[in-house]
Structure 1
Amino acid sequence: MSLQLLAADVVNVIAALPDPDPVAPPGFEAVGTILGWAKWVGLIAAILALIAVAVMFMFNSRRGEGGEHVKTFVAILVGVMVIGAATALVGFISGS
């Protein structure tokens, strides 16, 4: 058997494999609820962190040190984006 025929057989076998949609097992509805709560808590924590950074900006700008917290502000914004896009990111990575 030639290498080309073997490669063609492998491709045909891979193409014939089923690709089912992901389905949660029975009884896992609570997991969705817990994930929803975790996302909600994460977004509330991010809002509180943004308020805290705004207060630090306010106090430190009076002393001329306002720009030092920009890195913290950007890190919080990146965290908010990751929390908000977590479902889409996992779906993209897993290919579903």
Structure 2
Amino acid sequence: MNSFSARAASVIPDPTPTVPDQAGGLLTILNWASGIGLILGVLGVIIVGIGMVIQLQRGEGAQAIGKLGWVLMGCIIISGSSGIVRAFV
């Protein structure tokens, strides 16, 4: 390792994020919103599954696969939202 890269690596700070004490209420709201979103995501998967069963009996089952994809994408975004935000900040 040359001296330039060693010097540059020693200058780059490595901050550790801390949550201020005043943010307790906001964190509670975010936790509730995340929990409610995941519960609604599970409910959405159940509803799409019921719709798929009904549509398969009618012979139109392929249309429900797209709806299931959207519901699962929403669940992935909700569950990974903190990581997504952390990647951009």
TM over 0.5: yes
User: Which residue of structure 2 aligns with residue 5 of structure 1?
Assistant: none
Q: Give the deviation of 1:21 after TM superposition.
A: 4.4
Moved over 3 A (4+): 18-26
Do residues 76 (structure 1) and 71 (structure 2) align?
Answer: yes
Match of 1:33 among 28, 36, 56: 28
Q: Which has the larger radius of gyration?
A: 1
In structure 2, what is the Cα distance between the partners aligned to 1:86 and 1:80?
10
Aligned pairs for 1:36-75 (under 5 A) are 36-75=31-70
| Whole-Å separation in 2 of the counterparts to 1:52 and 1:79 | 14
How far apart are the structure 2 equivalents of 1:20 and 1:51? 42
TM-score, with length taken from structure 1: 0.73
Is the aligned partner of 1:90 residue 2:58? no
- The CA deviation string for residues 17-37 of structure 1, in whole angstroms up to 9 with x for no partner, is x77544444321111111010
The residue type equivalent to 2:47 in the other structure is A
Question: Structure 2-normalised TM-score?
Answer: 0.78
Query: Could you tell me how far 1:69 is from its partner in structure 2?
Result: 1.1
Q: More helix by proportion, 1 or 2? A: 2
* Aligned residue-pair number: 81
Q: Over aligned residues, Cα RMSD in angstroms?
A: 1.9
